[in-house]
Structures are given as C-alpha cells and as structure tokens.
Structure 1
C-alpha cells in the first residue's frame, strides 16, 4: 500500500461538479469520486492555512499542537505524521506547499542543528522534502519557498530577477503591458507564464516523477498544490475560460450587514471584505478562480492517467482535500476567515484500492469528518499501530469499507484572530481572541470569547444568513451546544507521552516499584503482591 495525498489550497467544496456544482465541470475529480467515497461533511480544524495544515500534519487539534496563527512555528517536539510513519518503515515525502514555520528558537535552545537530519525533519513538519514551494514571493523569502520553481523557470529560458513575480504573478494586457497579479483588477489578464510551465503543471510533473522513481519501500507522497489560492492569476486559456455569467449567485443578504454582533460588524469593515463585496471585483476574480480550479482538474487528469497506465491505481490510496475554502464575496467577505461552509467545509475524496472498499465505490458519506481523521487513516492503511493518545482523529476505514462503527456527534474548528483588526477595534486582549466552532450536523455554534455566541440552523437556513445567537428563543440550543464545547474542552489534549497500554499497566501496578504508600502493616503489602525491602524486618 502507498498513499498519494493531494491537497489544494483555498479550494471550495461547492466548486466541484462531484459535489453538485453546475457552474463548472471537474470531470477528473468526478472520476476519482466515482472510484471511492465522497465525504459531504468534512471540516478543517481551522479556516486559515497554517493552523489547518499543522492539524492535518499532526493529526491534532489546534489547541493541542499550538500553532494557532499563520507563521506561528510548530513547536519542537510536537509529533508529526512523518515520525509515526517512519517508525513503520514508510517514506513520507513532500512535493509542494506546507506553510510550515520551523521552531528555530526551540531548536537552538535544545542544541539541535536545523541543517542536520533531525533538525531538517523538524523544520519541515516531518517531511522528507523532494521540493517545497509555498507560492510566495522570493524577494520577501530569499532562497527559500519558491527556489525550486525559480530554477525550473530559468532552465526553460525565462529571465529576470524574481521569476515567480515576473512570470507566474505577472499578467499581460492586450497591448503587451505587464501588470501585477497582486492587484485584483488585473486578474483576468493571462499570466505571463504559459500553461505548460505554470505552478500547477510543474507540481503535477514533479509528483509524477516522484512516483515513477519509487521502488519497493512503501511511501506517502504529499502532493500539495498552491492554487487556486491567491494571487488569482491563471495562464491562458484558463484566465478567460469563464465569465461573470458563469458564476453561481453570490450568497449574501443585506440583513447580514446590519448585524449587531461586534466582531462580525468590524469584520465586514475590513478592506478585504469591502473589496470582495463589490460586484466588479467578484465578477473579475471569480471566473479566474474557476479557471484555476479547471486547470487543477485538467492536471489531475494527467496524473490519474499516469497512475492507471503504470498500474499504481492497484496499490495506491488516493486522497484529495483542501486546507480551507474561499469566501469569494459570500456573506460580504473575501479570503477564508470565520466558519461559514464556504470556508471551513472542504472537499474530501478517498479512493482505497483494497478489495474491502469495493462495496463503497462511488458512494457518499454524511458522517461528520474532521481533517485530523486523515492521519489515523494513513496509519491504518499501512497497518501501523494506532496512536490514540497522540492522534485525536479517527480512522476512516470503517466508512471506506462499509463497516458500521460508532462515530462522532460534532465537529470542532478553531480560529485565533489575534492579528486581525477587529480584535483591537473591539478592545479584545490577544489572549482572548479565540473562536471555536461546534457543528453537530445541523446547528453551527461559534463560541466568541467575551461576546455573545453565533448560532446558525443549517436545516432551515442552509445559506447561513440568519445569526440566531442573540435570539432568546434559541437559548436552549445555545446551552446544548455550549455543553458540547465544554465536553470537548474537558478531554485530554496533551497527554501524549504515555500510550493507553502503559497507562493500564501503571493502573494495575499501582505505585512504582520500591514505593509503599499508606500500608498499615506487612500483611497488606504481601496480599498486594508488592516487594518488601529484604533488609527490613517489619
């Protein structure tokens, strides 16, 4: 068994035709769904890149691994999926993006060389890096996150001081002028780089090359795409493949702008929200976002064809997911903040080649699934020992194999908004800038520290327009959801150095050897089977 773990950045679940989208078609992802299970209610542990990915890569909630902000290092010593798999002889490799920030201060404190074998793995979230590319401007991150792609472009005849910026993130107007992809108004222009050399095409080729080079050692390859994350700039013909007429209706209502909730009110005043609330911006950016998704689907078609032609479909589990979605003007917002379904809910498709999964091929599951479920699923796929004291998710094998098992009653997602302007405007200390979503399949409750909660009923209001958190008629539901939040908060989240078997052994053993606590006399010691010091008579 091998695993190909594909992740797209900032991809909405409802822009894939296998999830019912009618405004565009994604036939290759539809094909993957037809070969496996489509999960309809999959939620990430945080709606922003870094914390979400750290939860994927550790199998742990954000409150547990502690990397709550973009750019916040994953602390030294936090166990990753790579460590668990390497212990079982599995090669754990990266091709693409992780958003990982190393804990250089922690490594320095402990005397760990970040360039050594252990330090390098810690710096890259446990991955053996084939190549890492986070799709970021190398001027701001010299020699790091786009170095491999820069070298590739240069080998193919492109020149400049900053090839990522000057080719991948530069558009060409009909008059031949070069314009920046950072400016939303330029999104419709074709990228200067051709479709054959775009980041998406390049990463696909790198993924294929990696798989082709593998021998008998079992492997997990994390093929992590940068797009359709901003900058929203696509190569021809994907830049103008769609128009504003192809966009689905925007999901927003004027009543949302009249909210009495202090946090939402300030969020809507941000530059990002104001710009994506403008029809002309959404009408320009949205079609390009669709084009980037179409480009990704086309490249995945090339990848899947390679797997079929080489027989790798027979021994490779394929998982497709996203790290979060994109508001794209819904709820008068841009980016991916907060917990609306366009942001916190993600596509999740899993193809399991094992015969036991034949009965579920082409089916859909409405089970409440969390991103942290993938890590234990991967250990399970490699027949590695379960680690429930570390991994907080649950293996999806019972769902993939159609074998009923007890499942969770609610999902959790978290957001640290300490760096957002809405925090300061509302006078919230950074220690209290914490949001927690509890979703039970119908009711979506958001705990907002020092403010009233948010509450949405997705059965009567699937578009999440009406916030019921301030309506006294729903006090009972708020209390019930608050109790679920408290239930989750009471669980162990940091007892990771003793596995369940060790805890049971310690329970059976009682006090450590050589320690006799509160025994009245020698007979009590003997009856417990304890060892009494031989040099003592009584």
Structure 2
C-alpha cells in the first residue's frame, strides 16, 4: 500500500484555542475528529517561540543552536539536511503548499557554485521542499518575501485588478464610504476582509494542496500544507468576522503582581509596542474576534480537506499531522505576539493520525508525554520505513507512542530564543552574543536560563497559569539546581558530528584498522606489528 503524509501547520495557533483542547466557545469539530482518529500530544513544545527558527527546527529535526538559524531572516546554512533530504532517497515526493519562512543561504550557495535556479539549488533555497506553491504572506511588497504571482493571477481572474490583492483585498477591509482599511491596524480587526471566503488565503492554499494531491497520483508523497493564518494581519472575511463576539472571549491570564517587579527580560518585553496594544481591552477584543474567526475558517477547511481525502480513497494510507509553529499571547501576561516561554507562546497543538492498524489501540488518546517539534522529521522518516539517523536528527520518532509501545521519549523539553534582533536587547544593554534565553520543562517545573540575569522558574503544578516567578526565591534553590543540571546535560550533547553516526564509530576496529592502514604509532618492534596483523587477518 502506498504511504503518504499530510503535514499541516498553522501559524501562531495557540494550543488551547481548539474545542478538543478545552476551549468552551470556539468549536472546531473537524480538528476534533482528527483528534478522535489519532493521538493528541497535550505537552508539545516548539524549539523556538518565533516563526523562522521554530520552522527550521521542524524541518531539520534539530535544535536551534544546532542548525544556527536563530531568528527570522537568518539563513539556514547550506548543508543542513531537511525533511526532503531524508525522504527523497526513499522515493517520496516532498512538496510545499504555503509558508516556510525560509531564508536561503545565498552566500553559501554562491560559494559552493549552486545556482538558485538549478534543481539542487532550488531545493536548498526552499528548505528542501519542492515549492508546489510557496505563500509566505507577511510583507509581500518588501525585499524579503517573493510575491505569489499565482495568487495574484487567481485574484485577477476573480475580478480584482489590485496590484497586490494579498494586501489590499485579502488583508484589508472597507468602510462605509469605500475607503480601504488595512488589516495591519488592529483597530480594523473586527471588520470583514474585502475578499470573499473562497478568495482568502486559507481556502485558496487548501485548494492548491488538493491540486498537488491529484497531480501526485500513485507516487508516495509528503505534502507540507502550511497556512499563514491565524497569524497577523488579524482580519478574516465574512461570515467569520463576527462569529465570535466578546461573550465568547476568555479573560486574559494575567495579574498586577506580574508587573510589580518582573524579571528584567520579561519586563522589557512588556514594554514592546505590541504588548502595550494587547494590554488595551478594546484592542484585544477586536483582535480576538478576528483570531477566533480565522481558526474557525481553518477548521472548516479541514472538513473540506478530509472529505477530499475520503473521495480520493487516500484516508487509509495517509498519515496526518496537525500542528502550529508557536502560539500567541493575545494579552496574557501583559504580552502580545510570542517570543517568551509561557504556554500561550511555546506550547502548541499537535495531533498525529497514523492510519496503520498498529495505531488502533491509541486512537483518541490524549497523552501528557513531553514532545518537541524536532520529533516530527524522525516520525515521518520512520513512517516511510527510513533508517534512523540519530547523529543528525535530535528528536525521536513518535511511532512507539502512537503504537502504544512507550509512554514518553524524554525527561525535559527544550526551547531556545535569541532576542538579539529585538529592541529589548538594546534597552537592557545586552551584547548580541548574550541575548539568549533557554527554557527547559520537565512536566512540572519550567526553568528559563537568561544569560547575564537570574533564571526564571515556574511551578505549573501549583501555578498552572504561570503567574508566579520563583527564580529569585531562595526556597526554590533545590529545583533551580536540579533544572540547571538538566540544562548542563543538554548543552553537552554532540550536535555537529553529522557525517558519521555513533554506531559507525563504535563498529570501527581501531587497533587492527590502523595497523592495516600502515598507521604504526606506538609500536616498539616489527614483531609486535606482525602479531597485530595476524590477529586482524584472523577476524
């Protein structure tokens, strides 16, 4: 039977804004049905709480400090193996519909003579994916992101003559006098986008994913369907724009004590413009109205996509992964955006549906196993029957959990953040090399190492809302020391020897191999060498 993988990623979708995760007002029946067919990983964490480095970890199976793409726009260096590099030797077509936030290492490609328009160069520049249709959105008129000409033409065919319909139609509203209101401004978030539902990004890229699946035919495929939303601009077309009014909004998770004497780094992030905006209840209300509508739109598209797989006869041979690249504070902890490590930001939804009979016993399971984004490449590789590559991939396959063989893979989950590109660093007077944060979470205690400052520490058993930072409390010295040891153990991992595995090294017969190769260091006589060579011949 042909195997396929549909790897679905939303952008900035919080772990708890799904009905299967407990949201009381936002109903997501199609995503819930995926959870009922598979396993929900209730404690899944990203390797970095910001788009670029998080995604590079998803695609390489490696920690941020290993692959080196530490912030948006910092290229993933040439030579880092990605999901496509692992799957192509297995005959699996690995393609992209949507966003990667990949910045190509143009200087490295030039140094190695890789032309961007060559077959290999194109794959390197697109994070290892065949770009069936790349749609990063964000700043389509800026220098960092290529325009999606296919979407522009689609909108022209729909009757929109705008030069940039992504910006002026899909992500803008219109007032009563016909003035265009940009979706970049949060005061416009509760207005309907100018685009009709079927013209907006989420339905459009769903349709393109279906086009790819039709085209792929019987070739095994791994399709990365990567949605731009519910990431800002926070604006959604009718009828989703007013489905979720203030009566459906959850109160922000925050208290005044958090602002009284915060950790210096945390306090500096509270002063960011986006944090101040989300601390305003009116702004937060308008944004939540759109944010929840965007999620509902995604859920409806999941229903459309699952019905398509049924019609194509592919449901029973397709692994489905549903996840997000990070969360969204939405005003929790007096913060906007993401970037720090509260669960609102660093914890993600993760549902994996394995269609094989081996996974029947775990269908509908919600597991507390600590899972990281880097586990997905090993999982997909394992599903397609590829050999493990632990010297390259720092995560572990989730198939043993999906098949009920083990309950967990690790003691701690790790996430990293480089804030050197943020104004926070300058306000704190921190040098670029020291603008680093590392989180370790063991299922109860969340420890954040902050270079140059005291650590942060939260006890999620006693304080599940993460309102009380115990990092400066002498009574927590024992837990701080224990988590620091975990951090020390993690930093001592071997991460850069990716060309040879531990097994390859362990299998080497060093003594006899060196003698046969003529490396004669330490021998006192030719007779001693002859004895070693006789032993080698006898093996």
TM range (shorter): over 0.9
Pairing of 1:134-283 with structure 2 (within 5 A): 134-141=136-143, 144-283=146-285
Q: Distance between the aligned counterparts of 1:8 and 1:257, measured in 2?
A: 31
| Stretch moving more, 126-135 or 506-515 | 506-515
| Stretch moving more, 135-144 or 146-155 | 135-144
SS in 2 for 1:18: helix
CA deviation vs aligned residue, 1:55-98 (integer Å, no higher than 9, x gap): 00000000000000100000011111111100111110000000
Q: Distance between the aligned counterparts of 1:359 and 1:142, measured in 2?
A: 46
Pairing of 1:37-436 with structure 2 (within 5 A): 37-141=39-143, 144-404=146-406, 407-436=409-438
| Stretch moving more, 133-142 or 193-202 | 133-142
Report if aligned partners of 1:133, 1:148 keep a CA contact under 8 Å in 2.
no
Q: Distance between the aligned counterparts of 2:6 and 2:278, measured in 1?
A: 35
CA drift at 1:425: 1.3
CA drift at 1:503: 1.0
CA, structure 1 residues 145+45, in 2 after alignment: closer, same or farther (shift >3 Å)? farther
RMSD: 1.5
Match of 1:524 in 2: 528
Report if aligned partners of 1:27, 1:297 keep a CA contact under 8 Å in 2.
yes
Report if aligned partners of 2:105, 2:125 keep a CA contact under 8 Å in 1.
yes
Is the counterpart of residue 449 in structure 1 residue 489 in structure 2?
A: no
CA drift at 1:152: 1.5
CA deviation vs aligned residue, 1:271-294 (integer Å, no higher than 9, x gap): 111111110110110111000000
Report if aligned partners of 2:4, 2:317 keep a CA contact under 8 Å in 1.
yes
Match of 2:519 in 1: 515
Can you give the 5+ residue segments of structure 1 that lack an aligned partner in the other structure? 533-538
Match of 1:535 in 2: none
Q: Distance between the aligned counterparts of 1:145 and 1:56, measured in 2?
A: 24
CA deviation vs aligned residue, 1:360-413 (integer Å, no higher than 9, x gap): 111111100000000000010000111110000000001000012662100000
Match of 1:476 in 2: 478
Report if aligned partners of 2:401, 2:408 keep a CA contact under 8 Å in 1.
no
SS in 2 for 1:225: strand
Report if aligned partners of 1:138, 1:147 keep a CA contact under 8 Å in 2.
no
Report if aligned partners of 1:137, 1:164 keep a CA contact under 8 Å in 2.
no
Q: Distance between the aligned counterparts of 2:311 and 2:49, measured in 1?
A: 37
Q: Distance between the aligned counterparts of 1:267 and 1:405, measured in 2?
A: 36
CA deviation vs aligned residue, 1:320-352 (integer Å, no higher than 9, x gap): 000000000000000011001011000000110
CA, structure 1 residues 441+137, in 2 after alignment: closer, same or farther (shift >3 Å)? same
Q: Distance between the aligned counterparts of 2:532 and 2:22, measured in 1?
A: 64
Q: Distance between the aligned counterparts of 2:303 and 2:395, measured in 1?
A: 30
| Stretch moving more, 154-163 or 317-326 | 154-163
CA drift at 1:177: 2.7
Report if aligned partners of 2:141, 2:147 keep a CA contact under 8 Å in 1.
no
Q: Distance between the aligned counterparts of 2:455 and 2:312, measured in 1?
A: 53
SS in 2 for 1:13: coil
SS in 2 for 1:14: coil
Report if aligned partners of 2:189, 2:289 keep a CA contact under 8 Å in 1.
no
CA drift at 1:459: 0.2
CA drift at 1:506: 2.8
CA drift at 1:507: 4.9
Tell me the TM-score normalized by structure 2.
0.96
Report if aligned partners of 2:64, 2:416 keep a CA contact under 8 Å in 1.
yes
CA drift at 1:510: 5.1
CA, structure 1 residues 145+78, in 2 after alignment: closer, same or farther (shift >3 Å)? farther
CA deviation vs aligned residue, 1:11-65 (integer Å, no higher than 9, x gap): 0010001111112100000000000001000000000000000000000000000
SS in 2 for 1:529: helix
CA deviation vs aligned residue, 1:392-446 (integer Å, no higher than 9, x gap): 0000001000012662100000000001112111111001100000000000000
